[in-house]
Amino acid sequence: MELPKSFKSQGEHKVCKLVKSLYGLKQASRQWNLKLTHALLDARFTQSAHDYSLFFLHQGDDIVIVLAYVDDLLLTGSNATLIDATKTKLHQQFKMKDLGNIKYFLGIEVLSSTSGVILNQRKYVLELISETGLSGSKPTITPLESNVRLTSLKYDQTTGAQGDDLLSDASSYQRLIGKLMYATITRPDISFAIYILSQFMQHPKRSHWEAATRVVRYLKGSIGQGIWLQDKYSTTLTYWCDSDWAACPRRLVIGYAVHFGESLISWKSKKQHTVSRSSAKAE
């Protein structure tokens, strides 16, 4: 940034105080977020305590939800009149463009029908397959091989067999795992495989890379799969959980899935932080 010519003659040791944030500065994104947040709070929206980019407004039995990602807003609700009123309030403070019904958002395709909504990442997965050079490879039917033992040790302490070499470029493995992590948004079936592979981010070996590319080949065989959210009224919340005590001698692996009615809304596969001394305590 340079001073205007009329100010240069007044001294060299002067700075400019910005009245408003400029695009591209470090503070610009923060200032934009504050302005959007204040605008929604002034419109009587409530900011979620679990996700600061999520805002909702209750009016009687109806609700309007606004999800913000940088300068992209996803607006939905149970009442068309409230949705239109929210759009009008936002238009009064920001220059906005209404793109209509959602079809594609942050790499996620939204396919609507009379019986529900399907969320998938078909385009994202196709780009991932192309980037990894596996367009001509054969798909697999499972994310990981059965009874596979991946380790970061130079040799297997159980069998004494020599391990494989480290990858010369660890960043390629790290980027691939990061992209696969994003694919778990609509593909819970690869959550366990990504949990296993993400443990070798610092010093990945060739066997780890081959296991990661196997997950990509598994996605290739089921590109169109995703999350099915049914259009059925339900107040039933079902929670499924399980643990694998034998997978790790020190800490067990847990997994859970939460269904709202018949729709899957939350899932996870991770290693517990605490050490369980018995299978009863583990469950």
Q: What pLDDT is attached to residue 176?
A: 92
Task: Supply the DSSP symbol for 166.
Answer: B
All domains in the chain, ordered by first residue: 21-100 (3.30.310), 119-226 (no CATH), 232-282 (no CATH)
Q: Which residue positions in the chain have pLDDT lower than 70?
A: 1-4, 6-14, 153-163, 245-251, 275-283
Q: What pLDDT is attached to residue 160?
A: 47
Residue count (the chain): 283
In the chain, alpha helices (H): 5-8, 28-42, 80-93, 122-131, 170-183, 191-197, 206-220, 279-282
Confidence (pTM): 0.74
Q: What pLDDT is attached to residue 161?
A: 47
Q: What pLDDT is attached to residue 180?
A: 93
Q: What pLDDT is attached to residue 196?
A: 85
Q: What pLDDT is attached to residue 217?
A: 93
Q: How many helices, marked H, and strands, marked E, lie in the chain? A: 8, 11
Helix (H) or strand (E) holding 76: strand 72-77
Q: What is the pLDDT of residues 56-95, one digit of tens each?
A: 999 888 899 999 988 888 998 888 898 999 898 888 888 8
Q: What pLDDT is attached to residue 233?
A: 80
Which burial class, exposed, middle or buried, applies to 187 when counting CB atoms under 10 A from its CB (0-12, 13-18, 19+)? Answer: buried
Rounded Cα–Cα distance for residues 229 and 231 (Å): 7
Q: What is the pLDDT of residues 90-120, one digit of tens each?
A: 888 888 888 888 888 888 888 888 888 888 9
For the stretch 77-81, contacts whose Cβ atoms lie closer than 8 Å and that sit 24 or more positions apart, written own/partner, are: none
Q: What pLDDT is attached to residue 1?
A: 60
Task: Supply the DSSP symbol for 73.
Answer: E
Q: Count CA atoms within 13 Å of residue 51 on its CB side.
A: 9
N-to-C CA span, the chain:
61
Q: What pLDDT is attached to residue 246?
A: 60
